[in-house]
Structure 1
């Protein structure tokens, strides 16, 4: 399987973001993420979670028969996004794209950022997060990132030090450097070309491209 979209709850997603979404082989909704996908006119294949939010917006009995529902108890040890990623990982996709999970509670947004960087998903070559204010890429090993020359990009270590970080195609290059949690070294770099290459020998970083209108 090539690409899976995961929709999470949160603030409504601007309609123009649908242009940022790739064609997908499967769409998974994490609880109220079902309404986010529906608002963009996308067909959900699987709905997963404890259903504590989605049932405020839609009746489960009214869902199309094509939607597979995987319901979990409210008292659980994983977030709905975590459960959605587990389902996605079983399909062995090349790419997973998260949509939503912003607005509302700050702890949910921070939790989403750490969840997509978890080592359990290391076998998925590309994990991205499409937000209304930015495009976020999880980088392990090597990734090619597209951007506009002069556009901002920040490289943030997640879950510990990121060692041997090298870049090409940025204004201020890194050369097998170590990025430590709490350091601002990787913040507000800029694209020198339309494509940048980021390499990480050990660890994981988020490459965050802010929307130019939000900067």
Structure 2
């Protein structure tokens, strides 16, 4: 007799950029495990999310949010300010140990260097075994290794970016398909494709791709 399959675990990481929208909160799966990255704790508390762990150097979280979280049983993992990882990277490191899928919210806004760094760190090989995506209001950034289907409305713009080096990509369900072709990270070839089906398929046989739905 085949043993029952364990249900997939989704962890929501709340970063310290723009506060998540009410639409983003409504789209989250029910009763998610929530990890807050530093000032993301303020966003999570304001949104009424129950935070399992807050991680970071806690240099930008408000005392009120910290007190509320501690009183509700949130575990606080403090790190020194002089560290080699961003607070989001620390949160992803923790989330990847717990999850099959990670959804990052609150990653946009603030400084441009933070946004670029945050989008790049999503594709780290350290969490290659976990499905990771970031929600930025109506936009979405999905990390693709191996094979992944993306749920979009037909006609939606889908841009593909190779991260960290060239990526070999095959697509179906996009207006301009790629057939085992190489995307170079220093070109714009993957920008502004368009979905022709509700579930475009992206297969990455080498490298890693960030699929962006703006």
88, 92, 95: which one aligns with 1:88 = 95
The answer as to whether partners of 1:4 and 1:24 remain within 8 angstroms in 2 is: no
The yes-or-no answer on 1:111 pairing with 2:89 is no
Range 194-203 or range 5-14, more displaced: 5-14
User: Displacement, 1:25?
Assistant: 3.8
- Measured against aligned partners, the alpha-carbon deviations of 1:75-125 in whole angstroms (never above 9, x if no partner) come to 11111011111111222x21000001211100000010111101001111x
The answer as to whether partners of 2:174 and 2:200 remain within 8 angstroms in 1 is: yes
Alignment match, 1:53: 60
Number of residue pairs matched by the alignment: 206
The answer as to whether partners of 2:11 and 2:101 remain within 8 angstroms in 1 is: yes
The answer as to whether partners of 1:3 and 1:23 remain within 8 angstroms in 2 is: no
Partner Cα separation in structure 2 for residue 183 and residue 22 of structure 1? 36
Alignment match, 2:108: 102
Unaligned 5+ segments in structure 2 are: 1-7
**How well do the aligned residues superpose, as a CA RMSD in angstroms?**
1.4
Alignment match, 1:134: 139
146, 154, 168: which one aligns with 1:149 = 154
Partner Cα separation in structure 2 for residue 79 and residue 51 of structure 1? 12
User: Displacement, 1:12?
Assistant: 2.4
The answer as to whether partners of 1:167 and 1:199 remain within 8 angstroms in 2 is: yes
The answer as to whether partners of 1:20 and 1:130 remain within 8 angstroms in 2 is: no
TM-score (norm 2): 0.92
The answer as to whether partners of 2:41 and 2:66 remain within 8 angstroms in 1 is: no
1:1-215 paired onto structure 2 within 5 Å: 2-55=9-62, 58=64, 60-63=66-69, 64-91=71-98, 93-124=99-130, 126-163=131-168, 165-210=169-214
The answer as to whether partners of 1:168 and 1:196 remain within 8 angstroms in 2 is: yes
